[in-house]
Amino acid sequence: MSADTQAFYDTLETRPPAQREAALMAALPGVVAHAQARTDAFADLLAGVDPAQVGSRGALARLPVVRKSELLARQQRDRADASKHEPFGGFSAIGWRGLLRSQGARRVFQSPGPIYEPEGEAPDYWRMARAIHAAGFRAGDLAHCSFSYHLTPAGAMMESGAHAVGCTVFAGGVGNTELQLQAVAELRPHGYIGTPSFLRILLEKAAETGVSAGSITKAMLGGEAFPPSLRHWFEERGVQAYQSYATADLGLIAYETHAREGLVIDEGVIVEIVRPGTSDPVSEGEVGEVVVTTLNPDYPLVRFGTGDLSAILPGPCPTGRTNARIRGWLGRADQTAKVRGMFVHPGQVAEVLRRHPEAGRGRLVVEGEMANDRMTLRVEIAGAPEGLAARLADTLRDVTKLRGEVQFMAPGSLPNDGKVIEDARKYD
């Protein structure tokens, strides 16, 4: 196989964008219909929705966003119901004997919450192979995987993806630095898969003890922030490291390429960026919450809110991959703040602005010292109508049950960072 042929995992990565979009939108009605028919949760959440009418991004945007908090709440509710044995809260289309869905689950995992996630029987169930291939791993490589194989699915996610690429995997798991370093020295893996922090620990320990770790020349990283400074640190030690963005619920969402310009969206998901606290898509380039619809029939999550902030980058990836790109992880969308004993949520700020269509983007800034909180709603608007500030202040009090000031800003003056609530209080 030539180097050019190996540049991409498959031809899906380089198909014309219009062809990809048509294929995704053609598949969408079937995804919605399957979720309604095969899961109790989406039969409830999408009740009254005609799947045949959900064949565009505009139609998709009219469906509710399901956030992890709701998934957890439904799982907890069903686990507490003695008449049910439904650990997935009605979101899974597969299970095992004794459950509503009696077959199809190969393994089950537990993430913090706890939230339970099924693994189906499809090869590379979480679709991690595409990211691992983009990081330079190839068939015949030995990959040292130090993600956890205990309870959570990270180790299984990466291992199944590495196997799909054709790699052999050393199942290192977490901890046991000395034993893992011994394995690196004796097995001489071609690459590392795990968190950036543990790779740094391994390389520092190798330098300290004189143990050779020079066989590791590439790495697929995830689970933590990966700043450019750390990337350069690895490069100085001969390791080209790339990051992936994945969750236990959705599998791979996006992955880094050697262009180092954002993360390319995976071929098996539909990604939207919505204004935090709402289900409304934002314009290209604006920071908002990452919302994902997966084409996975076993766990068919429709408009699943990740709680992560990012933004769509303009233009294609310089590597020739034609899917859209996101900027990467830019923070968390849940910006709930407690003000004078009351919780204020991004959705409440969105509701205030929704009641006043003449207002543009807004941000609620909470300032002051302990026990002396002040709220100011900053709103972008050109030529505010007379009395709008007072009406906005009244609506703010009506929605949040708290008093606040209103400050008008020039259009485009609020930072593009996805923040709807900014907690600027001093706690010293």
Q: What is the mean pLDDT of residues 77-96?
A: 89
What local confidence, expressed as pLDDT, does residue 4 receive?
41
Residues of the chain with pLDDT > 70, as a percent, come to: 97
pLDDT for the residue numbered 370: 53
pTM (2 d.p.): 0.85
Tell me the average pLDDT of the chain.
92
Residue 377 contacts residue 405 (beta carbons within 8 Å): yes
CA 406 to chain centre: 33
φ/ψ of residue 100, rounded to 5? -60, -45
> Do the Cβ atoms of 400 and 428 come closer than 8 Å?
no
pLDDT tens profile 347-386: 889 899 999 999 999 999 998 865 578 899 999 999 888 9
DSSP 15-77: S-HHHHHHHHHHHHHHHHHHHHHH-HHHHHHTTT--GGG--SHHHHTTSPPEEHHHHHHHHHH
With a cut of 50, say whether residue 240 has pLDDT above it: yes
User: Mean pLDDT: which of 110-114, 275-279, 406-410 is highest?
Assistant: 406-410
Predicted confidence band at 313 (pLDDT cuts at 50, 70, 90)?
very high
Structure tokens at 87: 């650990």
Whether the per-residue pLDDT at 2 is higher than 50: the answer is no
What is the pLDDT at residue 175? Answer: 87
* DSSP per-residue codes, 363-393: EEEEEEETTEEEEEEEEE-SSPPTTHHHHHH
- How far apart CA 382 and CA 360 sit, in angstroms, is 9
Residue-by-residue DSSP string for 136-179: T--TT-EEEE-S--SSSSHHHHHHHHHHHHT-EEEE--SS-HHH
Q: What is the pLDDT of residue 213?
A: 95
SS3 category, 338: strand
Question: Distances from the Cα of 247 to the Cαs of 104, 130, 189, 201, in angstroms?
Answer: 21, 15, 26, 24
Provide the pLDDT for residue 1.
32
pLDDT bucket at 136, cuts 50 / 70 / 90: very high
What confidence category does residue 426 fall into, taking pLDDT thresholds of 50, 70 and 90?
low
pLDDT of 262 > 90? The answer is yes
pLDDT of 428 over the 60 cut = no
pLDDT score of 82: 74
Question: Measured over all CA atoms, what is the biggest interatomic distance in the chain, rounded to whole angstroms?
Answer: 76
**Taking a C-beta distance cutoff of 8 angstroms, is the pair 194, 147 a contact?**
yes
Whether 295 contacts 268, CB under 8 Å? yes
Can you give the pLDDT at residue 3?
Answer: 38
Least confident among 70-74, 123-127, 137-141: 70-74
Structure tokens at 393: 């202040």
Torsion of CA 70, 364, 333, 310, to 10 degrees: 140
Sequence length of the chain is 428
- pLDDT at residue 401 tops 90: no
pLDDT tens per residue across span 169-180: 999 998 899 999
SS3 351: helix
Q: Which tokens hold the place of 279?
A: 């289900």
143, amino acid identity: A
Contact 377/362 with Cβ under 8 angstroms?
A: yes
In this structure, are residues 132 and 161 in contact, taking their beta carbons and an 8 Å threshold?
yes
Token duo for residue 46: 């999408």
pLDDT of residue 371: 56
Q: Quick one: which of 197, 201, 309 has its CA closest to 245?
A: 309
